[in-house]
Amino acid sequence: MKRVIFVLLILSLLAFSVFAQQKVVVTFWEGMGAKLGTTLTQITNLFNKEHPNIEVKLVYLGSTHEVDSKVMTAIRVKALPTMSEDLPAWAAYAVSKGVVAPVDEFSDFSKVAKELYPSVLKMSKIDGKIYTLPFSQSMLILYYRPLMFEKAGITPPKTMQELARDAKLLTIKKNGKIVRYGLGFRTTFGSFSFVAFQFGGQYIKNGKLVINSPQNVKALTFLVNLVKKGYAYAQNGYLDSQFTTSSIAMSLGGAAQLSYILSDIAGQKDGIAMAPIPRDVAFHPEFHGPTLVIYNTSTKVQQKAAWEYVKFLLSPAVQLFWSMNTNYPPLNKRVVLLPQWKAYVQNNSYHIGSMLVGISKAIAYTPTVGWWPGVDLAIQTAFEDAIHFTKSPQEALDQAQKQAEQIRAKFLNK
């Protein structure tokens, strides 16, 4: 009998040894292309090397919006990955479906949280719990052409009133035709939020929709007037050709766009630099980007492995590497204390440190509520209608308010 028990014990130990050597596979749906994708791959390969019992498999889906779309389908057919990167509102939608593992329930969450900016934790909160944590959040800033400013004898604007003044000063007309606009901006939901927040605008106040608030109307009127007077150029797409032809002097955009802009203006003497977003009655820089979601439909072992990966992504060393290679701001507070970061900022001619100005006050560009997908499109349509003069700012936002109320009612009454 003792011999039989000994043999069984040996067999069980061998089985355990084989099991222990098996890797836990974490499937990560992401939408980071070009240099973002290359950098993420480098980071992930390092993680896999340092964690021999875990293998994170990146699944590139083309864009963050494609990830959101596929996740929504996967929720319906119950075929979710271990984790994905979703825009905040889509992450809230997933939470409403009960498929997200809250990160604040992992045992060492508090240790991670202490190293992050409070604004990062605030934007990650859904229904009172922290379900997700961001990794690639671009800070929206003001791009400007230093040589153009130097010739005009001005410095980067610090207020919205100065922005309007400088847009006028920097606009150039020849033979009655505008050959350079003082300002360029995209007619996207994020771009409107970017400006509206500085005017004290918001979309939800005390649980009530306030899309057509006086503050939001004032912000939209401000932008419409700049276009109407010929001082600003607006379009939905990226402003690549406008930078290439030097037909804009300033632009509102994300810090992570810097590498693309530098490619567009390669060889131009005008150069490019960054400045914090001008303020009005408030100063709220804007986070813009996806957040990391771990799904509870995967095994507990996979969830824990995914959490190890999230912690790695948010560690000071990785955040430093990520930021220096992509121009996304480091979300870990310890990074700015590192000598490598200080040297990087000091030796950077693009004023890269601008993207961290006010990061503790930054807010997400979209509310984290499950019914928001669709509302952002209604606001963007209102933005475009006003910019193209088919509706007044008030009429456009009144329409968006009505559509948003319908979307919310339909979601809550499902």
Residue 328 φ/ψ, nearest 5 degrees: -75, 145
Spatial CA neighbour of 277 closest among 152, 361, 220: 361
What integer is the mean pLDDT of 344-359? Answer: 95
Digit-coded pLDDT (tens) for 50-73: 999 999 999 999 999 999 999 999
Residue 198 φ/ψ, nearest 5 degrees: -70, -25
Instruction: Sketch out the chain's domains with CATH numbers.
Output: 20-137+289-352 (3.40.190.10), 139-287+374-412 (3.40.190.10)
Cβ neighbors of 287 (< 8 A, separation 6 or more) are 119, 120, 123, 134, 137, 138, 139, 362, 363, 364, 365
Per-residue confidence (pLDDT) for residue 2, from 0 to 100: 37
Amino acid identity at 197: F
What is the per-residue DSSP string for 212-238?
T-HHHHHHHHHHHHHHHTTSEEEESS-
What integer is the mean pLDDT of 292-313? Answer: 98
Per-residue confidence (pLDDT) for residue 414, from 0 to 100: 64
pTM of the predicted model, to two decimals?
0.91
DSSP one-letter code for 314: T
Q: Is the pLDDT of residue 27 over 90?
A: yes
Q: Is the pLDDT of residue 11 over 80?
A: no
Per-residue confidence (pLDDT) for residue 212, from 0 to 100: 98
Q: And the tokens for 79? A: 């075929």
Q: How far is CA 287 from the centre of its chain?
A: 5
